[in-house]
Each structure stands twice: as structure tokens, then as C-alpha cells.
Amino acid sequence: MTPNVQLVDYPILYTFRRCPYAIRARMALAYSHIKVVQQEVILKQKPQEMLLASPKGTVPVLILADGRVIDESLDIMDWALTQYDPDGWLCTELKDKCDELIYSNDVWFKPILDHYKYSQHSNNYDPHYYRNEVKEYFSKLNLLLKNRQFLLADHISLADVALFPFIRQFYMVDQQWFAQSEYKYLYAWVQFFLSSELFLSVMKKLT
């Protein structure tokens, strides 16, 4: 969280529609019924107001009505859920397991995902290499989902929403492969969120 900026009527969210970090922040804010003014960021023309609030220059950035700035997606999610969490997403009794899953996703899986996405048009691209790299990780998630619909509980938790936008991106590279893979429970989990009203609502293009 960074220092205060000028006061605003509603929280302002600087976002980018397809960014997985921004998606999970938007999902938490929408779930918590927090009204925000969204500003879609053009990555090559970042608004000066956003950079003044958060010099690191990455989305999402949330400027609260009292001027405080939250510029990490997980911090935005935590803040939103402390305001209103009707279905118990925070799962405080499972915090250690939740933190472990999110750490694995953000620190270990994200770099592999980026290579899988961005190198697919290069001459030496080998999708099998990246799929093999995530085999153990996806198998672990798939096993967690074998006997329940969600990763840590019988209801959605912070871990599900924090991980979903990233697993979605891996899925989007080759949807047919993912659908036919051994990760049938993980695939069903992805499909659940893809068709959820919550996800669809936060993916609408801003007018």
C-alpha cells in the first residue's frame, strides 16, 4: 500500500481487461459489491494519475475514496473481502494452504505460463515442453478437485479466484488439448468459472 493521494467519490480502479492480476482483483471487488470507477489502461500510454499513485506502473491499482492506494492484486482482494465476504472466501482456517497455492501460482507457475503463451509463434516452440513442466503442478490441483468442486473447500475460496485467471490463460493457448488432457477435474473447474456470472460480468468491455 502506497501513500495517500487526492480524495475521490468512489474508489478508482486502474485495470487492463485481460490481465490475470487485474481479473482476480475485479472478481473480488464485484463479489464484495464494491462500486468502483474503472479506468482501462492502455499499456503503452499509462495515465499520469496512475503513475503518480503507483510508480511501479502495473495494474491493478486501486485508489480508495479516502485517498489510500492499494497496488497489489492480492492486497486489493484482501481489502475487498474484509469489507464484505458473504460466502467465506477468506477461509481463515485454511490460510496456510491458501497462501501456499497462491505462492506456487504467482512465483513458480506464472513464468512458465508466460513462456508457454508468448513463445508459441517462435520457430523452436515446443508446447510439450511447457506442458511437461506443469505436469506435477496441474496433477496436484487436479487431485485437490477430485472429491470437491473447489480447491480448498466445498465453496469458492480466495485460492480459487486468485489462481483461475492464470490457469485460464494456459487453457486458452490450446483449449482442445486441455479438454482432452488427464486434468479432467481441473478442466471442469476452469469451465465453471468461465461460465460464471461473476467472471462474465468483470470481463465486459468498458464503454
Both 101 and 151 in a single domain? yes
E strand segments, 30-160: 37-40, 61-63, 69-70
Q: Find the CATH number of the domain harbouring 17.
A: 3.40.30.10
What are the angstrom distances between the C-alpha of 12 and each of 42, 69, 100, 171? 16, 9, 30, 30
- What SS3 class is residue 4? coil
What are the angstrom distances between the C-alpha of 193 and each of 12, 115, 180? 25, 24, 18
Inside any domain, residue 7:
no
The residue range of the domain holding 80 is: 12-86
Both 118 and 161 in a single domain? yes
Both 106 and 188 in a single domain? yes
* Res 1: pLDDT: 53
Both 138 and 181 in a single domain? yes
Cis peptide before 60 (omega within 30 of 0): yes
Both 105 and 160 in a single domain? yes
Both 172 and 99 in a single domain? yes
Residue ending a domain, choose from 70, 86, 102: 86
* Res 190: pLDDT: 99
Instruction: Indicate the angle between helix axes 184-194 and 135-144, nearest 10 degrees.
Output: 70
Is residue 192 within 8 Å of residue 184, measured between CB atoms? Answer: no
Inside any domain, residue 3:
no
Both 98 and 166 in a single domain? yes
In this structure, what are the phi and psi dihedrals at residue 75, rounded to the nearest 5 degrees?
-65, -35
**Residue found by looking up cell 458473504 in the block:** 86
Q: What is the pLDDT of residues 85-115, one digit of tens each?
A: 999 999 999 999 999 999 999 999 999 999 9
* Res 125: pLDDT: 83
* Res 84: pLDDT: 98
Q: CB count, 10 Å around CB of 25?
A: 31
* Res 122: pLDDT: 77
How far from each other are the two terminal CA atoms of the chain, in whole angstroms?
29
Both 37 and 122 in a single domain? no
Total count of domains within the chain: 2
Q: What is the pLDDT of residues 148-159, one digit of tens each?
A: 999 999 999 999
Pairing of strands 12-15, 37-40: parallel
Is residue 142 within 8 Å of residue 184, measured between CB atoms? Answer: yes
Measured distance CA(109)–CA(79) in Å, rounded:
25
Which of 197, 203, 205 has its CA nearest to residue 26? 203
Measured distance CA(52)–CA(167) in Å, rounded:
32
* Res 5: pLDDT: 52
Is residue 105 within 8 Å of residue 162, measured between CB atoms? Answer: yes
Both 78 and 105 in a single domain? no
In order along its 207 residues, the chain shows pLDDT tens digits of 555 555 568 999 999 999 999 999 999 999 999 999 999 999 899 999 999 999 999 999 999 999 999 999 999 999 999 999 999 999 999 999 999 999 999 999 999 999 999 888 777 889 999 999 999 999 999 999 999 999 999 999 999 999 999 999 999 999 999 999 999 999 999 999 999 999 999 999 987
